[in-house]
Amino acid sequence: MTEVPEHLLKRSRDRRAALGLGGGGETEAQPAATPAAGAEVEPTAGATAAAAPAAAAPAEVEVKPPEPPPPYVEAALQRKRIPYWAMPVVGLLPIWVILYAGSLSPADTGEATQLDLGAEIFTASCASCHGGGGGGGVGRQLSAGEVLKTFPNIADQIEFVAAGTQGLGSGTPYGDPAREGGQRTAGSLGNMPAFGETLSPDELLAVVRHERETLSGEEVPAEEVGENETRVWPNGSPMFEEGGTELLSPEGEPLLDPSTHLLMVEIAGGSPAPSGQ
């Protein structure tokens, strides 16, 4: 019998211990059980040789191939993983949702514009006589450029709506003297109510803008569009100042006389103010 070197024995013990066969414990116990072997001293060749096969024998019986993992575990191990790049994508989803939702509503979610206000007032106070789209009825047609033919200048239209037929005086010519079909005369169609008392100055401006821009398609030059899509004079000065109490002329003077609702000043570039003043 050849001597089995100690390091090989140790390797065998470790191996069995690793396989879970309890080899380590047994071998440790062996020298104690056989006093001849001697616990501390170097084991004799015989003792070692006897111990090795004795220890190896049960190992041969017990060694079984590791159980194959159950099919569901195997399936889990083999299935396709979510790729790593998907993680930042999933992480950014909420941000995308917020941006997408933001893009659905108009950019300025703040206050309604002057034109929004004008549309509201028109529906509430004017549509009954002039039609929802300004097509006319009891009142004159305001759509399809008609109101622009009467009032090339917005100031004259503001005056007309504020003063009404009676404020101008029945029989008084108003609007563009060169209007196609002849200049308008107050009372020629009927009685247009005065809105100088019932509408606030900003509402008056807003509804006039609605008639001109939305119903009649007026093209407003860029320099006449102010902050928050308000309308300003060609010189850039406001027609109505936020928080103000009256409409203003291009020079910053009150536009309308508070008692008559007629123009206080003649606006350059417009048709001559009605002679009813």
Stretch that binds ligand HEC, among 24-32, 101-109, 121-129, 253-261 (CB under 6 A): 121-129
* Residue 205 contacts ligand HEC per CB under 6 A: no
Closest separation in Å from C-beta 121 to ligand HEC:
6
One character per residue 211-250, x = contact with ligand HEC (rule: CB under 6 A) = x---------------------------------------
CA-to-CA distance for 146 and 152, rounded, in angstroms?
10
Do 22 and 14 form a contact (C-beta atoms < 8 A)?
no
Residue that is written with structure tokens 């090795």 in the block = 52
One character per residue 74-93, x = contact with ligand HEC (rule: CB under 6 A) = --------------------
Stretch that binds ligand HEC, among 91-99, 142-150, 239-247, 248-256 (CB under 6 A): 142-150
Q: Select 22 or 187, whichever has its Cβ closest to ligand HEC.
A: 187
* Residue 27 contacts ligand HEC per CB under 6 A: no
Cβ-defined contacts of 174-177 (< 8 Å, 24+): 174/150, 174/274, 174/276, 175/150, 175/151, 175/271, 176/149, 176/150, 176/151, 176/152, 176/271, 177/271, 177/272
* Residue 153 contacts ligand HEC per CB under 6 A: no
Q: Which residues bind ligand HEC (CB under 6 A)?
A: 125-126, 128-130, 138-140, 142, 146-147, 150, 157, 160-161, 165, 184, 186-193, 195, 207, 211
